[in-house]
Amino acid sequence: MATTLLKNVTFFVFAAFAYVLMVQASDPDILSDFIIPANMTVIDGSFFTFTGFRGILDSEMPTSYKGTQASLKEFPALNGQSVSMAVLQFPPSGINPPHTRPHSTGLLLLVEGSLEVGFIDTTNKLYNQTLQAGDIFIFPKSLVHYQYNASPTEPAIAIAAFGSASSGSVSVPSTIFTSGIDDLILARSFKTDIATIQKIKAGLVSKA
């Protein structure tokens, strides 16, 4: 696991990243300091505190990729603040499959291990890089991107910041193959046969 010093530096640095994203975010501006949920009449410091990351960097590594979010759904105080975060855990050979975040740019800070990351722009050009601990990579808003831990033995941990309280995530594989598009349409689109499409679908369903 990451050292205590690295963890402290990581969260301090990412507080600055989150602020930059907030300033340049795409969420609508609000006309108050913050937004109080309709079902709350009295708030204190606990309302502005998220504890969902406690101990996560010291916990046992999951057996498959895991992203722990601190977005509007989990942390209501983010409403109107145009920022959110996530801790991404990659076991050896773990992958966060190609996906898009339609509402937000993302910044990724690698805390431990190494990761291959990349995105594809609107001209279909791939920009990829192998990151080492301490490196930062930016994923432009809405573009398809991925992260992959190529090490067969070592885990990787990253922290991501987003310029939206609800950045959203659209997984390319599951959106295409498990959302109900007809097999014939998919087979013709990918220039293959229905049997191949059904095999891909079966593989995705079994991992859900």
Tell whether 103 is in a known binding site. no
Tell whether 79 is in a known binding site. no
Length of the chain: 208
Tell whether 99 is in a known binding site. yes
Q: Alpha carbon 88 to chain centroid distance?
A: 7
- Contacts of 8-17 spanning 24+ positions with Cβ under 8 A: 10/109, 10/111, 10/159, 11/159, 13/109, 14/85, 14/109, 14/159, 14/161, 17/107, 17/109, 17/136, 17/161
Helix H or strand E segment including 128: strand 126-132
**Structure-token match 């007809």, residue found:** 182
Which residues are documented as binding site?
96, 99, 145
Task: Mark the binding-site residues for Mn(2+), compressed into ranges.
Answer: 99, 145
**Binding site members for oxalate:** 96
